Structure 1
């Protein structure tokens, strides 16, 4: 992984790296097959959690997980309700080229995640999680939800490169994308992310135009949005469907 390779160059003795843990409910008997696949594709995965048919969610905190990714929406919801930042992964119909020199992380500035008041949130955002939070304590900003821990961890790695005058060549690049024209709204999102220690490299405001072309140009590895409808809509724009 490029981020870890660059970190090791700049900080040879540091153990603070971008860490990936493979979590699966598969039985330990398939461990050798997993290891062979990881070695075959030259992946930097050294930690495993194989639970033999049980859900791995209960182990997330033990592994100090900052972000849990899964193709199973139910497991994602379970992780969020356990206080762990989580997101659903989905596959594209066509192959897409992604940068192998930078980890690109994009944030949808129009998402309810950045709402100032829970009353402004649209029905269906964040599914069961936001409904649970509204009933129990409400949400006013991104800093109050589990995603904060991931932002803080990402920002910490970001700053390690800045400390070595590597801002212009940082292998972590962040984007804020919005189709709205409200400058104040964009400023609020930037301040919210900054309060978590994360700096935004590029701000792209579409001012009413579709933001799909902007996301297509970025080709982010991770895009944070809180509604699957928006994700699928963006996917159709990006893939030209």
Structure 2
């Protein structure tokens, strides 16, 4: 029978999200991709340092055991195949079992999310993240200078999500942006019993729930909803999760308080939010990714780079 990723949690990730290739990337951004490739080849036997999503990937892979593979992580990168060799060697040096990768040498990689059936795409390339979201895949731009994950929960994957425009659609956020807080609170109180529409990361939350249900080993998942909502707007969020049949372990309704310090206490391996300001603050404390969707992230108006001219991701 042909190989299949069915019934696995599939994470597609770029090389710069998994490893710290920022020094090498500066060569590429300076307009010298050949020098970038030469440097990666020279460092082929030098394992790269962990990147922002390293802890998340390592812990998710720990859900696998010899008899049951529950998680598949695939490198999906604009890098060239030569640089791809260093990615796999760095993973091997870290004890990370990766088998699959797609390296497009500057071309758009996001189309390969379809045959992979990816539940999550993490990349340092904003344009790729936007296009993946437009195709219906949960995706986030990693903030490459985020704080590294803390190491206090070796057997627990901790993931934190914002609510509106991440787990939920941006219907309520649109009301807030147009009419203000009072109108938002009234709108959500009036619709408290009506589930919010699905947001871009609902499929990931559901896949994580299935992973937790299928796992009988030592690894566990702990999830948190970290939102600027407060009472009475909290009720609709909770009822929506109940309607989905997918819960979270912790919920923080912060009423506009900065999220970073609360996230530092939760210690997630990754945090997803749609608002750049929230991500900027959170990234000082925890690994963070910007979900470039919803009303707070209008489509880019500038022309995107031509194929082959993109920086590595």
**TM-aligned CA distance change 1:49 to 1:192, over 3 Å:** farther
Match of 1:32?
A: 85
Match of 2:177?
A: 122
Cα distance in 1 for residues equivalent to 2:71 and 2:244: 18
Determine helix, strand or coil for the equivalent of 1:175. strand
Match of 1:215?
A: 263
Q: How many residues are paired up?
A: 210
**TM-aligned CA distance change 1:94 to 1:231, over 3 Å:** closer
How do 1:61-210 residues align onto structure 2 when only pairs under 5 Å count? 61-92=114-145, 95-98=148-151, 99-109=153-163, 111-113=164-166, 114=168, 115-117=170-172, 119-120=174-175, 122=177, 141-143=196-198, 145-161=199-215, 171-182=220-231, 184-207=232-255, 209-210=257-258
Cα distance in 1 for residues equivalent to 2:205 and 2:125: 23
Cα distance in 2 for residues equivalent to 1:75 and 1:181: 33
Deviation, structure 1 residue 57: 0.8
Q: Deviations over 1:64-96 (max 9, x none)?
A: 111111111111111111221111101336555
Q: Work out whether residues 79 and 85 of structure 1, in 8 Å CA contact, stay in contact via their aligned partners in 2.
A: yes
With normalisation by structure 2, the TM-score equals 0.58
Which ranges of structure 2 fall in alignment gaps of 5 or more residues?
1-57, 179-194, 287-313
Q: Work out whether residues 160 and 223 of structure 2, in 8 Å CA contact, stay in contact via their aligned partners in 1.
A: yes
Cα distance in 2 for residues equivalent to 1:197 and 1:19: 24
Rg larger in 1 or in 2? 2
**TM-aligned CA distance change 1:170 to 1:35, over 3 Å:** closer
The structure richer in helix per residue is 1
Q: Work out whether residues 156 and 197 of structure 1, in 8 Å CA contact, stay in contact via their aligned partners in 2.
A: no
With normalisation by structure 1, the TM-score equals 0.73
Deviation, structure 1 residue 179: 4.3
Mean Cα deviation higher: 148-157 or 93-102: 93-102
